[in-house]
Amino acid sequence: MIRFVLNVLWLIFGGGLVLAIGYGIAALICFVLVVTIPFGVASLRLASYSLWPFGRTLVPKPGVGVASGIANVIWVVLAGWWLALSHIVAGVSLCLTIIGIPFGVANFKLVPAAIWPLGQEVVPAP
């Protein structure tokens, strides 16, 4: 029940809806450019994770190959570093207040996903 309440508050006050829309727009752009479709899939994964982060976690997907690693390096250079930096800045600013600490922690959870999204999957937290 706590996770549900935190997710609803995250959607309203924590910026989850804005993040999901931003990642969704990035996914649409990646789908238009055919070569970047894997990045679009990763953006959709980030959109769903940023929409409902509490009670979910990232785990490495078994059996990913070298292509995923190379694509992640390209992702880090083009988009990952500034996405991760924005999540870190938002997380630190949210942690300045007691009420914002859970939302800051949620932003910190999004950093690994933003910097290295390919070869990861979002699963329910134990």
> How is residue 51 written in tokens?
């929409």
Burial of 57 (0-12, 13-18, 19+ CB in 10 A): middle
Return the ∠ at Cα 70 (arms to 110 and 48), rounded to 5°: 30
What digits encode the pLDDT tens for the residues 26-78?
Answer: 889 889 988 888 888 888 988 888 888 888 888 888 877 788 888 888 888 88
Radius of gyration from C-alpha coordinates of the chain: 14
**What's the pLDDT at 122?**
85
Total-model pTM:
0.78
How far apart, in Å, are the Cα atoms of 117 and each of 8, 12, 59, 105?
Answer: 24, 25, 10, 18
Q: In the structure, how many helices (H) and strands (E) does the chain have? A: 6, 2
Q: What pLDDT shows up at residue 33?
A: 87
